[in-house]
Structure 1
């Protein structure tokens, strides 16, 4: 296995209703017609994969101006990134020992506004930005028409970027670093399998926002699910890989799961 490292970057906290991420969580019944709503704290994170073939950044987080009117008011009210202004991409990279100029390529799990808000740092450069074909199409369709999803902002990604488009279900990015197409949350979600010397890291991304999506197979709430059928198939793909590799599975926004992995994996192989 390749002697790479995966370093996690904490990009702040989003506060939102648990019903958005767990289908039926706050649905009323005859016995409980007015269930209480639970507001949860979710993590926004990125990762730096320090690999012999290059330094790869996974996602770019939210624009620091999210709470200053950059995000549309209805979206920010539903998904409040309370500390976005404290988490500029360059600052969080520096805290982990990297500069934006150290990044050789970026992988976008998808182009929602809490993942694509830092792409401006790579505008006008030749840094490859990997994204799935179906995601790029849907993002532009959503941002440029009144159809699709409201969670895409054209100003995040409609820029002079060096797009490298992934077309297939699996794509080898580097040795022992494979991208996985996991449609469900959006048409083009990418996850990854990274085989390290002592363990396998399986990035589920927003295929699974929180642990209950993965372990209990509770679908995402209707506002976050593009296709429940595709979501379920993608979930089984991840679970089969975990069964075969005993991988550590990293979810999209589960704060406790994120914190359980501390700063990441095999960090002695990467930058200190």
Structure 2
């Protein structure tokens, strides 16, 4: 295995109710029938995984026009990407020393609108875009019918892209970089195990929005959960990887956790 570096790319902030990300967070009770709701700040991030012979991008963030009518109004009301306009993929990659032209492949953890909003940058190119089979099916099902989930926009991913479909539970991209199927949040969420000279990195992604999903095993709120049973099984898979490797676990939108890694590993 050659040297691998992981550079974290800050793509801005989303404001949302904690009740969306931790099930039961704002539930009323007999003694407190009208609990206060807590709005919190969450991070949207990408990562550049730089291997010995290829450079891969993890996710592509939100479309910069998210707050200007590109996202459906009900979704933006619930999950406001307040600074999306300030975070183009090109500019944010440049901030960590890369350009879109440097990217040899894109790994999509899933195709929700805060992850797939920059895919159009790779339309009409031969850059491979890795996505799990179950995610691609559900994304098109959701975006092209009235069924499924509102969080998929065809305009994000219905392009002439070089799809590379990932099947099954595990897929090795190159030595030291392996993908894992982690269904629960959506049918096709993928995480990763990346081995760097500075230690192992485990990307849980939106399997765990915040640390409470992981440490306390509190599920995502119902609006963010495709399958509770699958989510719990995927959580145990990530925890077993952590026990086996001692790796740092990177959550999907936890701002404090993101900041704690200070830009990445072996950078």
Aligned residue in 1 for 2:141: 141
Distance 2:64 2:198 in 1: 36
Deviations 1:227-263 (A, max 9, x none): 0000000000000010111110000000000000011
Contact 1:184 / 1:227 at 8 angstroms: preserved in 2? yes
**C-alpha separation in 2, matches of 1:245 and 1:124:** 39
Q: Conserved in 2, the CA contact under 8 Å of 1:62 and 1:116?
A: yes
Unaligned runs of 5+ in 1: 268-272
Structure 1 match to 2:78? 78
Q: Is residue 2–residue 195 contact of structure 1 (8 Å, CA) maintained in 2? A: no
CA distance in 2 between counterparts of 1:32 and 1:144 reads 42
Map of 2:10 onto structure 1:
10
What is the aligned partner in structure 1 of residue 91 from structure 2? 91
1:110-138: CA deviations, max 9, x gaps? Answer: 00000000001000000000000000000
Q: Which residue of 2 aligns with 1:205?
A: 205
CA contact (8 A) 1:58 1:107 kept: yes
Partner of 1:252: 252
When normalised by structure 1's length, the TM-score is: 0.97
SS in structure 2 opposite 1:106? strand
Determine the C-alpha separation between the residues in 1 that align with 2:186 and 2:162: 22
1:181-200 matches, cutoff 5 A: 181-200=181-200
The secondary structure found in structure 1 opposite 2:126 is coil
Cα distance in 2 for partners of 1:153, 1:179 equals 24
- Could you tell me which residue of structure 2 aligns to residue 49 of structure 1? 49
CA-atom RMSD in angstroms: 0.6
SS at match of 1:135: helix
What SS class does the counterpart of residue 101 from structure 1 fall into? Answer: helix
Alpha-carbon contact 2:198-2:265 (below 8 Å) kept? no
Structure 2 alignment gaps of length 5 or more = none
Report the Cα offset of residue 198 of structure 1: 3.2
**C-alpha deviation, 1:197, in angstroms:** 2.0
1:1-38 alpha-carbon deviations (Å, 9 max, x no partner): 43110000000000000000000111111111000000
Report if aligned partners of 2:108, 2:116 keep a CA contact under 8 Å in 1: yes
Q: Distance in 1 between matches of 2:93 and 2:245?
A: 30
Q: Which runs of 4+ in 1 moved over 4 A?
A: none
* 1:195 shift after superposition: 1.0
